[in-house]
Structure 1
Amino acid sequence: METPDIMTHLSSFRLTIDNIDAALIHMFAERFRCTDQVGFLKAEHHLPAVDEAREQHQYDRLKKLAEGAGLDPIFIEKLMQFVISEVVKRHRQIAAAHESGNAEHFPTANGS
């Protein structure tokens, strides 16, 4: 049987989780705005969409951060592999749009 005290605690935790989720969404949006700018710079200077050395450095750095925060570094690596794969996909799309002269029409993370 659920007691009001338990429900109050549960509601409080859920509100905190909802706030964290909202913050994560906004942080991802900001991250993609920034990585889109990297993509535009790479396209303008004909640089490849993938920088394997940078990616490996990022994975190593993020896994250490995860360990320091008490998180499973494998989980963080998988999460970031997904995020970085999306970044690379967007960089390729930006490069293709740049090559075709349509880079200014590329939809950015903020929807413009």
Structure 2
Amino acid sequence: MNDSTSTADATLRSYRESIDNIDAALVFMLAERFKVTQKVGEHKAATGMPAADPGREAAQIARLRALAKSANLDPEFSEKFLRFIIQEVIRHHQASGAAG
């Protein structure tokens, strides 16, 4: 293995380590988010509120699309990602007894 290959391998390992750290942070952030949304679901169930809130969802999607744009992230991707999370949250809320 020459120095060029060794440097390239070290660079790739460094990038992958950063990706691994970011992935771990994302998992922990999602876990925290779902802990809070679980509390929201419990509150909705206790008060008879519907599991879904289309107005809030639309506002959040618009907000995240704008944030994505300012972060040079594809707004379409951010919307798909958020919609997936929202659907999971609604599913959890419905399972906890919030009105469907």
TM-score, L = length of structure 2: 0.93
Residue number among 18, 21, 38 corresponding to 1:19 in the alignment: 21
In structure 1, distance between residues paired with 2:96 and 2:69? 34
Whether 2:81 is the aligned partner of 1:49: answer no
**Structure that is richer in helix per residue:** 2
Cα RMSD of the aligned pairs, angstroms, is 1.3
In structure 2, distance between residues paired with 1:57 and 1:95? 24
**Which whole-Å deviations, capped at 9, do the CAs of 1:3-50 have from their partners, x for residues lacking one?**
000000000000000000000000000000000000000000000000
> Is there any run of 5+ residues in structure 2 with no aligned partner, and where?
none
In structure 2, distance between residues paired with 1:41 and 1:68? 33
> Is there any run of 5+ residues in structure 1 with no aligned partner, and where?
97-112
TM-score, L = length of structure 1: 0.83
Runs of 4+ in 1 over 4 A off after TM superposition: none
**Which whole-Å deviations, capped at 9, do the CAs of 1:59-87 have from their partners, x for residues lacking one?**
00000000000000000000111110000
State how many pairs are aligned: 96
Residue 90 (structure 1) shift: 0.2
Sequence identity of aligned pairs in percent? 48
Residue 89 (structure 1) shift: 0.2
Partner of 2:38: 36
In structure 2, distance between residues paired with 1:17 and 1:51? 34
